[in-house]
Amino acid sequence: MHTSHLTLAYWCLLAAAALPYFTAWVAKAGAFGPGDNSAPRDWAARQGGWRARALAAQANGFEGLPLFMAGVLAAHQFGAAQARVDALALAYVLLRVVYVSLYIRDRSTLRSLVWVLGLGASVALFFVR
């Protein structure tokens, strides 16, 4: 791959991989001190409310990442139409941003619907032509 061929879909891979780290930062902002770094998982286990939901969204982001990455790579490998691959990848990233927001705000039903749409975008990448 030449650097001149970095597609929007490839940039979406980076964005999707970075989003869980951003979500963890949101969860920790203003509440995670230097002393908590010696046992960060203990700190996480003590959280409740929106912070706990942000941490759960982070975990879900990592869980969904392999399928999305495989889909983007497979679509490129199979020579799918680049505009379609880019559109599905961008849709996935935008849906993940919405998903995180809904998760943090405890909008569980709508969150689950957005999750299904994101899963659909990942799966569609394997079949796009």
Q: Which tens digits make up the pLDDT trace of 28-54?
A: 999 999 999 999 999 999 999 999 999
In a domain, 119, yes or no: yes
Global pTM exceeds 0.85: yes
- Asked whether residue 129 is domain-assigned, the answer is no
The reply to whether 71 falls in a domain is yes
Q: Is residue 34 part of a domain?
A: no
**Does any domain span residue 59?**
yes
**How many domains, the chain?**
1
Identify the pLDDT of residue 5: 83
Using one digit for the tens of pLDDT, what is the confidence trace for 55-88?
A: 999 999 999 999 999 999 999 999 999 999 999 9
C-alpha to C-alpha distances, 76 to 24, 53, 88, nearest whole angstrom:
30, 34, 12
97: Cβ contacts below 8 Å, ≥ 6 apart: 19
Return the pLDDT at 4: 55
Residue 48 is assigned to a structural domain of this protein = yes
54 occurs within a structural domain: yes
CA distance readout (Å), 62 to 18, 23, 73, 82: 10, 11, 17, 25
The domain in which residue 65 lies consists of: 3-29+39-124
Q: In the chain, what percentage of residues exceed pLDDT 70?
A: 97
- CA distances (Å), 102 to each of 26, 57, 80, in order? 14, 10, 32
Instruction: Flag whether 8 is in a domain.
Output: yes
